[in-house]
Amino acid sequence: MSDVKVTAREFLSALGRGDVERLGSLMTEDISAVCTGTCALSGTRTYKDIYATAGLLGKVTRSGIEFRILNMTAEDDRVAVEVDGIATLVNGAPYNNQYHFLFFVRDGKVYRIKEYLDTKLVDTVLVPLMVASSSPA
């Protein structure tokens, strides 16, 4: 398996576990992550944004998101990954989304991501728990 594929696989694993320390070591400081669509998570995220979102995923899921890689193709510094994400939220609801990630890797670290997912599912099921989890008690 190519190095860029290993990096993408490790990134998804750390993200799914909410392992912010490992995730941080797999990103460049100037990372740019674009989530397409019009959901609350859509737009461009920075290193700090990704770090914070990964931490919230650990709080709103019972045991993270299991990213099941269906297909992975690499060329040069790019890795395209088709993924099923399987999770149970803390309220017992399933959060099973389909993703396509396009990773760009430089020196063993991800410096750019383009993410496609079911944005309606994100807004309906995931975001309300993320908002509640990030609100002060």
Which one-letter amino acid corresponds to residue 81? V
In a domain? residue 134: no
In a domain? residue 137: no
- Enter the tokens of residue 88: 């149970």
- Domain extent for 14: 3-129
Number of domains observed in the structure of the chain = 1
Spell out the residues 6+ positions from residue 56 whose beta carbon is closer than 8 angstroms to its own.
130, 133, 134
- Enter the tokens of residue 26: 């797999």
Q: Would you say 61 and 89 are in contact if contact means Cβ atoms under 8 Å apart?
A: yes
What's the order of all strands across the beta sheet hosting 66-75? 43-45, 27-35, 109-117, 94-106, 78-88, 66-75
In a domain? residue 121: yes
Per-residue pLDDT of the chain (137 residues; tens, 9 = 90+): 679 999 999 999 999 999 999 999 999 999 999 999 999 889 999 999 999 888 888 889 999 999 999 999 999 999 999 999 999 999 999 999 999 999 999 999 999 999 999 999 999 998 888 888 876 65
**CATH number of the structural domain spanning residue 99:** 3.10.450.50
Give 11-51 as a 3 state SS string: HHHHHHHCCHHHHHHCEEEEEEEEECCCCCCCEEECHHHHH
Q: Which pTM does this prediction carry?
A: 0.92
